[in-house]
Amino acid sequence: MSTNCFLVISGPNLNLLGCRETSIYGGSSLEDIHQALQESATAMDLSVDCFQFNLEGDIVDCLQGAPEKYSGVIINAGALAHDSYTLRSAIGSLLLPCIEVFISNMDTREEFRHHSVIAPVCLGVIGGFGKQSYVLALEALANLSNQ
Protein backbone atom coordinates (compact mmCIF):
# COMPACT_ATOMS: atom_id res chain seq x y z
CA MET A 1 0.00 0.00 0.00
CA SER A 2 1.26 3.42 -0.91
CA THR A 3 1.17 5.71 2.10
CA ASN A 4 1.17 8.88 0.06
CA CYS A 5 -1.54 8.31 -2.49
CA PHE A 6 -5.15 9.38 -2.03
CA LEU A 7 -8.27 8.59 -3.98
CA VAL A 8 -10.74 11.31 -5.00
CA ILE A 9 -14.17 10.27 -6.25
CA SER A 10 -16.84 12.58 -7.64
CA GLY A 11 -20.31 11.19 -8.17
CA PRO A 12 -23.16 11.71 -10.61
CA ASN A 13 -23.52 14.96 -12.56
CA LEU A 14 -20.24 16.36 -11.28
CA ASN A 15 -18.82 15.86 -14.77
CA LEU A 16 -21.09 18.79 -15.71
CA LEU A 17 -19.45 21.24 -13.30
CA GLY A 18 -18.75 24.59 -14.86
CA CYS A 19 -21.74 24.39 -17.18
CA ARG A 20 -24.48 23.26 -14.76
CA GLU A 21 -26.20 25.61 -12.30
CA THR A 22 -23.09 27.75 -11.95
CA SER A 23 -24.79 30.04 -9.42
CA ILE A 24 -24.82 27.08 -7.02
CA TYR A 25 -21.72 25.15 -8.02
CA GLY A 26 -19.48 27.93 -9.32
CA GLY A 27 -17.66 28.22 -12.60
CA SER A 28 -14.91 25.67 -11.93
CA SER A 29 -15.01 22.55 -14.07
CA LEU A 30 -14.21 19.16 -12.60
CA GLU A 31 -10.94 19.35 -14.51
CA ASP A 32 -10.13 22.62 -12.69
CA ILE A 33 -10.79 20.87 -9.38
CA HIS A 34 -8.60 17.92 -10.31
CA GLN A 35 -5.84 20.30 -11.35
CA ALA A 36 -6.07 22.17 -8.03
CA LEU A 37 -5.83 18.83 -6.22
CA GLN A 38 -2.81 17.77 -8.26
CA GLU A 39 -1.05 21.06 -7.52
CA SER A 40 -1.82 20.81 -3.83
CA ALA A 41 -0.69 17.17 -3.76
CA THR A 42 2.60 18.03 -5.43
CA ALA A 43 3.19 20.83 -2.91
CA MET A 44 2.63 18.34 -0.06
CA ASP A 45 4.79 15.65 -1.71
CA LEU A 46 1.96 13.18 -2.19
CA SER A 47 -0.21 12.02 -5.04
CA VAL A 48 -3.90 11.84 -5.91
CA ASP A 49 -5.92 9.83 -8.38
CA CYS A 50 -9.17 11.55 -9.35
CA PHE A 51 -12.18 9.81 -10.86
CA GLN A 52 -15.77 10.69 -11.69
CA PHE A 53 -18.62 8.22 -12.04
CA ASN A 54 -22.28 8.65 -12.85
CA LEU A 55 -22.98 5.01 -11.96
CA GLU A 56 -23.42 4.10 -8.32
CA GLY A 57 -22.00 0.59 -8.88
CA ASP A 58 -18.83 2.01 -10.41
CA ILE A 59 -18.23 4.00 -7.23
CA VAL A 60 -18.72 0.88 -5.12
CA ASP A 61 -16.25 -1.07 -7.29
CA CYS A 62 -13.71 1.74 -7.03
CA LEU A 63 -14.08 1.97 -3.23
CA GLN A 64 -13.74 -1.77 -2.78
CA GLY A 65 -10.41 -1.75 -4.60
CA ALA A 66 -9.13 1.37 -2.78
CA PRO A 67 -7.29 -0.20 0.19
CA GLU A 68 -4.83 -1.90 -2.17
CA LYS A 69 -3.50 1.40 -3.42
CA TYR A 70 -4.60 4.33 -1.30
CA SER A 71 -4.35 5.59 2.26
CA GLY A 72 -7.47 7.71 2.26
CA VAL A 73 -10.50 8.72 0.23
CA ILE A 74 -12.22 12.00 -0.56
CA ILE A 75 -15.74 11.58 -1.87
CA ASN A 76 -18.25 14.01 -3.29
CA ALA A 77 -21.14 11.63 -3.78
CA GLY A 78 -23.38 14.27 -5.35
CA ALA A 79 -27.04 13.43 -4.90
CA LEU A 80 -26.14 9.86 -3.91
CA ALA A 81 -25.10 11.34 -0.55
CA HIS A 82 -28.75 11.64 0.30
CA ASP A 83 -30.10 8.26 -0.69
CA SER A 84 -27.45 5.64 -1.37
CA TYR A 85 -27.32 3.06 1.39
CA THR A 86 -25.19 1.01 -1.00
CA LEU A 87 -22.54 3.69 -0.93
CA ARG A 88 -22.87 3.95 2.83
CA SER A 89 -22.17 0.23 3.17
CA ALA A 90 -19.19 0.45 0.82
CA ILE A 91 -17.67 3.33 2.80
CA GLY A 92 -18.54 1.69 6.12
CA SER A 93 -16.54 -1.41 5.21
CA LEU A 94 -13.64 0.55 3.75
CA LEU A 95 -11.09 0.51 6.60
CA LEU A 96 -9.63 3.74 5.22
CA PRO A 97 -10.32 7.29 6.39
CA CYS A 98 -12.91 8.86 4.11
CA ILE A 99 -13.88 12.55 4.05
CA GLU A 100 -17.16 13.60 2.49
CA VAL A 101 -17.02 16.87 0.57
CA PHE A 102 -19.58 19.14 -1.02
CA ILE A 103 -19.02 22.12 -3.27
CA SER A 104 -22.12 23.98 -2.10
CA ASN A 105 -23.48 24.51 1.41
CA MET A 106 -26.16 21.82 1.73
CA ASP A 107 -27.90 23.65 4.58
CA THR A 108 -28.82 26.54 2.29
CA ARG A 109 -30.52 24.24 -0.21
CA GLU A 110 -33.56 21.98 -0.44
CA GLU A 111 -34.55 20.07 2.70
CA PHE A 112 -33.76 16.69 1.14
CA ARG A 113 -30.12 17.76 0.80
CA HIS A 114 -29.73 18.48 4.52
CA HIS A 115 -29.27 14.82 5.34
CA SER A 116 -26.36 12.69 4.16
CA VAL A 117 -26.65 8.95 4.65
CA ILE A 118 -22.90 8.55 4.19
CA ALA A 119 -21.74 11.22 6.68
CA PRO A 120 -22.03 8.91 9.72
CA VAL A 121 -19.58 6.41 8.20
CA CYS A 122 -17.12 9.08 7.08
CA LEU A 123 -14.41 10.52 9.27
CA GLY A 124 -15.73 14.01 8.68
CA VAL A 125 -17.45 16.37 6.29
CA ILE A 126 -16.30 19.55 4.53
CA GLY A 127 -18.85 21.50 2.51
CA GLY A 128 -19.59 24.92 1.11
CA PHE A 129 -16.18 26.08 -0.04
CA GLY A 130 -16.32 25.32 -3.75
CA LYS A 131 -13.30 23.51 -5.15
CA GLN A 132 -11.46 24.35 -1.96
CA SER A 133 -13.60 21.78 -0.12
CA TYR A 134 -11.62 19.10 -1.95
CA VAL A 135 -8.24 20.76 -1.36
CA LEU A 136 -8.92 21.20 2.37
CA ALA A 137 -9.95 17.54 2.61
CA LEU A 138 -6.69 16.48 0.99
CA GLU A 139 -4.76 18.56 3.51
CA ALA A 140 -6.75 16.93 6.33
CA LEU A 141 -5.97 13.41 5.07
CA ALA A 142 -2.29 14.27 4.59
CA ASN A 143 -2.07 15.58 8.15
CA LEU A 144 -3.78 12.46 9.49
CA SER A 145 -1.40 10.14 7.72
CA ASN A 146 1.54 12.10 9.15
CA GLN A 147 0.33 11.70 12.71
The contact pattern for other proteins, residues 60-99, with x = CB under 8 A and - = no contact, is: ---------------------------------------x
Q: CB–CB of 103/136 below 8 Å?
A: no
93-122 residues in contact with other proteins (CB under 8 A) are 99, 105-108, 114-116, 119-120, 122
Is the CB of 34 or the CB of 131 nearer to other proteins? 131
Is 123 one of the binding residues for other proteins (CB under 8 A)? Answer: yes
Question: What whole-number distance in Å separates Cα of residue 142 and Cα of residue 146?
Answer: 6
- Assign residue 128 a region: left if phi > 0, alpha if psi is -120 to 50, beta otherwise? left
Give the nearest distance from C-beta 129 to other proteins in angstroms. 5
Q: CB–CB of 123/97 below 8 Å?
A: yes
Q: Which residues bind other proteins (CB under 8 A)?
A: 99, 105-108, 114-116, 119-120, 122-130, 132-133, 136, 139-140, 143
